[in-house]
Amino acid sequence: MKKRTRYTDEPMAVGPITDFLPPPDQLILKEPTVKVTISLNKRTVDFFKSYARRHGAQYQKMIRRLLDVYASRHN
């Protein structure tokens, strides 16, 4: 048997909710990028493709993120 909801005549505080979220253009932090051509070992690319496929990611983004983290730690 389902439990029935009992409503009361208690007063409800109703009013406008102030906007607390930032505007959409501030939600995406995009850094400028530069296109490059790079030759990698087939074994390396296969590793990233396999890992990306298992996790539903894009292997190029994984490589880019890896390079970004490496560069920021050694900068």
Say how far apart CA 75 and CA 72 lie, in whole Å: 5
Say how far apart CA 52 and CA 54 lie, in whole Å: 5
* Residue whose C-alpha is closest to residue 46's, from 66, 26, 63: 63
Tokens of 20: 């607390």
Q: In the structure, what pLDDT confidence band is assigned to residue 1 with cuts at 50, 70 and 90?
A: low
pTM: 0.59
Work out the number of other CB atoms within 10 angstroms of the CB of residue 59.
16
For the purposes of burial, counting CB atoms within 10 Å of the CB of 52, is it exposed (0-12), middle (13-18) or buried (19 or more)?
A: middle
Residue-wise pLDDT for 15-45, tens only, equals 887 877 777 777 777 788 899 999 999 999 9
The residue ranges of every structural domain in the chain are: 40-75
